[in-house]
């Protein structure tokens, strides 16, 4: 009996070990936990281990000062850490290299960086364990010495090449550069995050590991119309036309449950931080160019056809409308006409009351005002002053959708001042039973849009779309 019991325990132990997932973290000093006390537990791999618990084994294979470049001043390729990582039988691999490649000593080899990154990715995807590989974009550097890890070089030279490599290899990307870009206080030496910074990284990695995803769905295979494929920041983008209007659909590497989407209304790829963050979390990013129809009936009809095309291909019923500047008119006018198809709206320094364009008639008329007048067949200043087709005129229709709205606006916006646009719209929406949150960016003008770190916007959207989504603070 004792032998049977012992054998049972032995086999249960083998089964338990087989169910444990192994996570391998490769990188340089930030992965290693440089400048952090008790780096074993307080580095981001150490904190990730604590978050994941006993069903995971997180291995830290960081090696200080190493580069992704094979011809860099200290290639990760030549280290014992790399050799050990390849032998770790990983289920998931996080690749955190590229920061040291921004040093002046390594810049002459940038023509090799994309291929070296692809080779690094492939060295893990080709393992017998067939791990899921997730590439981390390099963290923000607050270093002021342009010869060292210079952030301008990271943003303009290193990150685009890493994105292209991830696109070519079809692996996931995580933008941890934006994640800490507004938190210099967490970098005592301007390069390495402290324990609190490592915690933020660990929580983001935890979210990516544990989020429930549909790994089989591929929207593009369901398209009936022909399309071409391009690269959008490391993601596949399908491009086609509907009624002569350019359309773009960007596909995430793994699709979130419900197949959600975010619809960029205007100004494609401008300040794309929020779009990229949602692609990471399994949203599709969609766009149909109806410039400069200013949300009129033709624009709405065209968008309805675009929406119907994507629904037939399998995209989710509801998604998020996103409008910057006059894109707010486009986004909210469509939302007003389609209340059952919207889960949230995010508008940024938005135009919400087009009657203000009447002021433009007292000087040289701008092209935008001319386009607006053409779109709605308006002839005079009085026509604009009497216009009733703005989002502020549709608050009853918008409120019927029962979706939350986030308005991000600049305190000193010289084109669409909050007191003239966002605040009156918020008050009217509230009177009609709608839910509007306004965030004022103190000291800012109309540009730039968004936040360098889009976390507040992303958390608002995730909470609106699905309460089960993990937000920025893991509970």
* Domain ranges (residues) in the chain: 13-210, 219-353+390-465
Instruction: Tell me what pLDDT residue 470 has.
Output: 61
Give 428-467 pLDDT, tens digit per residue: 999 999 999 999 999 999 999 999 999 999 999 999 998 7
CATH assignment, 219-353+390-465 = 3.40.50.1820
Q: Fold identical between 13-210 and 219-353+390-465?
A: yes
pLDDT digits (tens, 9 = 90+) for 388-440: 999 999 999 999 999 999 999 999 999 999 999 999 999 999 999 999 999 99
Q: 189-203 pLDDT, tens per residue?
A: 999 999 999 999 999
362-379 pLDDT, tens digit each: 778 899 999 999 999 999
- pLDDT tens-digit profile of 72-81? 999 999 999 9
Mean pLDDT of 299-323: 97
CATH of domain 13-210: 3.40.50.1110
Q: Is residue 472 over pLDDT 80?
A: no
pLDDT value for 278? 97
Q: For the chain, what is the HEC assignment?
A: CHHHHHHHHHHHHHHHHHHCEEEEEEECHHHHCCCCCCHHHHCHHHHHHHHHCCCEEEEEEECCCCECCCCCCCEHHHCHHHHHHHCCCCCEEEEECCCHHHCHHHHHHHHHHHHHHHHHHHHHHCCCCCCEEEEECCCCCCCCCCCCCCHHHHHHHHHHHHHHHHHHHCCEEECHHHHCCCCHHHCCCCCCCCHHHHHHHHHHHHHHHHCCEECCCCHHHHCCCCCEEEEECCEEEEEEEECCEEEEEEECCCEECCCCEEEECCCCCCCCHHHHHHHHCCCEEEEECCCCCCCCHHHHHHHHHHHHHHHHCCCCCCEEEEEECCHHHHHHHHHHHCHHHEEEEEEECCCCCHHHHHHHHHCCCCHHHHHHHHHHCCCCHHHHHCCCCCHHHCHHHHHCCCCCEEEEEECCCCCCCCCCCHHHHHHHHHHCCCCEEEEEECCCCCCCCCCCCCHHHHHHHHHHHCCCCCCCCCC
């Amino acid at each position: 009996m004792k032998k049977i019991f012992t054998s049972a325990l032995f086999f249960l132990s083998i089964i338990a070990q087989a169910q444990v997932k192994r996570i391998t973290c490769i990188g340089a000093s930030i992965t290693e936990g440089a400048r952090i006390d008790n780096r074993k537990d307080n580095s981001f791999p150490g904190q990730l281990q604590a978050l994941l618990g006993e069903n995971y084994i997180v291995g830290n294979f960081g090696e200080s000062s190493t580069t992704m470049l094979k011809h860099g001043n200290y290639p990760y390729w030549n280290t014992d850490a790399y050799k050990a990582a390849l032998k770790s039988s990983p289920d998931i691999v996080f690749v955190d290299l590229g920061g040291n490649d921004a040093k002046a000593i390594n810049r002459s080899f940038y023509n090799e960086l994309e291929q070296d990154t692809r080779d690094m990715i492939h060295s893990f995807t080709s393992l017998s364990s067939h791990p899921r590989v997730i590439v981390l974009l390099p963290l923000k550097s607050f270093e002021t010495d342009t010869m060292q890890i210079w952030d301008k070089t990271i943003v303009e030279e290193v990150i685009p090449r890493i994105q292209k490599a991830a696109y070519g290899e079809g692996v996931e990307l995580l933008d941890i550069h934006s994640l800490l870009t507004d938190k210099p206080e967490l970098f005592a030496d301007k390069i390495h995050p402290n324990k609190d910074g490592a915690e933020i990284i660990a929580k983001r990695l935890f979210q990516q590991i544990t989020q429930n995803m549909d790994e089989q769905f591929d929207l593009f295979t369901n398209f009936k119309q022909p399309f071409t494929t391009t690269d959008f920041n490391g993601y596949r983008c399908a491009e086609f036309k509907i009624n002569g209007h350019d359309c773009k659909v960007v596909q995430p590497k793994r699709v979130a449950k419900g197949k959600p989407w975010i619809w960029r209304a205007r100004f494609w790829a401008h300040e794309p931080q929020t779009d990229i963050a949602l692609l990471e979390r399994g949203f599709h990013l969609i766009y149909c160019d109806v410039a400069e129809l200013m949300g009129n009936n033709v624009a709405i009809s065209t968008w309805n056809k675009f929406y119907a095309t994507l629904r037939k291909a399998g995209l989710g019923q509801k998604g998020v409308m996103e409008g910057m500047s006059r894109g707010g008119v486009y986004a909210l006018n469509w939302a007003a006409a389609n209340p059952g198809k919207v889960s949230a709206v995010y508008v940024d320094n938005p135009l919400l009351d087009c009657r203000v364009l009447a002021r433009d008639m007292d000087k040289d008329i701008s092209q935008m005002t001319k386009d607006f007048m053409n779109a709605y067949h308006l002839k005079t200043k009085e026509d604009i002053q009497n216009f009733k087709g703005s989002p502020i005129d549709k608050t009853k229709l918008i409120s019927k959708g029962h979706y939350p709205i986030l308005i991000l606006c600049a305190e000193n916006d010289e084109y669409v001042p909050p007191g003239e646009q966002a605040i009156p719209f918020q008050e009217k929406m509230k009177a009609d039973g709608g839910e509007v949150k306004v965030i004022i960016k103190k000291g800012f003008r109309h540009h730039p849009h968004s936040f360098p770190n889009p976390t507040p916007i992303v958390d608002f959207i995730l909470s609106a779309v699905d309460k089960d989504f993990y937000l920025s603070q893991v509970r």
